[in-house]
Structure 1
């Protein structure tokens, strides 16, 4: 059975906003390394539209730093599933699913393959409640956002989830990567 991992950049006060962080070569290399064991990305519509076409353009045009281009090339090569009722079409190696993301992810998890990476907060509570997420990777940025989208809204989970800390990694730019595994 495949592992499912959830990853997100967050502020110290728990908000998810990609514009708050200060990416570095070291952090981009970390994200690229994380993708080595991933062969499927599972996105909600908003995250998909945030990530693509941006990273596809970086990979095609080689318009970023060397670390950004390596990350972009790896990201673009991975098969993607997008949960959306409104997207009409997607590019390349991307599939749209319209209903029941938990059931779809459960089917994908049972297929052979590497890790499935989830990078979206909109369906996180549903997938956690279904017991589908095995690992959590959070990169905490040294910033207080003061507003935006929380990682989890109050009351969005039916119960608490206990996790075991697997690894921490500190970066020169002040970011801290935290890796957790679901406690059995």
Structure 2
């Protein structure tokens, strides 16, 4: 089975929000490197609409720093699945599914290929509970925000999930990337 990985930027107090940090070239290089092992991204609608068309525009227009452009080109080239009941249409390398994300991800996991990257906080509890997330890549930023969307809402998991730390990487910004696998 192909591995499924979840990756997210989070604050020290566990919140996910793209507004609390300014990504550096070093972070773009890190995330671009992570995409080398990924051939499918599994999105919820909110995260998908946050990421696109923004990154598609950066790739097309070559607007941004060299790190942003490289990330945008790699990220937009990867096939995507978006879970949404309301999204009407999507570009050619994006497939929309309407329901049952865990069952769909299980089917995709059983197909040959590279890693699947899950980019959805809203589906995370369901996908963890279904045993579908194999790896976690969390980039923790040196900021306490005290509000926003938590990576996992209190009480959202039925059982504790034990992880094994595989690697850490320190960034000059003070952010630290932690790569974990299921224990």
Segments of 5+ residues of structure 1 without an aligned counterpart are: none
Normalising by structure 1, report the TM-score. Answer: 0.99
Counterpart Cα distance in 1 of 2:2 and 2:9: 23
Q: Which residue of structure 2 aligns with residue 86 of structure 1?
A: 86
Q: Which residue of structure 2 aligns with residue 108 of structure 1?
A: 108
Normalising by structure 2, report the TM-score. Answer: 0.99
Mapping of residues 14-25 of structure 1, within 5 Å: 14-25=14-25
Q: CA deviation at 1:14?
A: 0.4
Q: Which residue of structure 1 aligns with residue 127 of structure 2?
A: 127
Q: Which residue of structure 2 aligns with residue 52 of structure 1?
A: 52
Counterpart Cα distance in 1 of 2:181 and 2:91: 32
Counterpart Cα distance in 2 of 1:37 and 1:72: 16
Q: CA deviation at 1:98?
A: 0.5
Mapping of residues 135-146 of structure 1, within 5 Å: 135-146=135-146
Counterpart Cα distance in 1 of 2:91 and 2:54: 13
Q: Which residue of structure 2 aligns with residue 43 of structure 1?
A: 43
Counterpart Cα distance in 2 of 1:62 and 1:146: 35
Contact 1:16/1:148, CA 8 A, preserved across alignment: yes
Q: CA deviation at 1:72?
A: 0.2
Counterpart Cα distance in 2 of 1:145 and 1:60: 33
Q: Which residue of structure 2 aligns with residue 98 of structure 1?
A: 98
Q: Which residue of structure 1 aligns with residue 7 of structure 2?
A: 7
Mapping of residues 65-76 of structure 1, within 5 Å: 65-76=65-76
Q: CA deviation at 1:92?
A: 2.4
Per-residue CA distance 1:155-179 (angstroms, 9 max, x = gap): 1001100000000100001110000
Q: CA deviation at 1:123?
A: 0.3
Question: RMSD of aligned C-alpha atoms?
Answer: 0.5
After TM superposition, the runs of 4+ consecutive aligned structure 1 residues lying more than 3 A away are: none
Q: CA deviation at 1:22?
A: 1.8
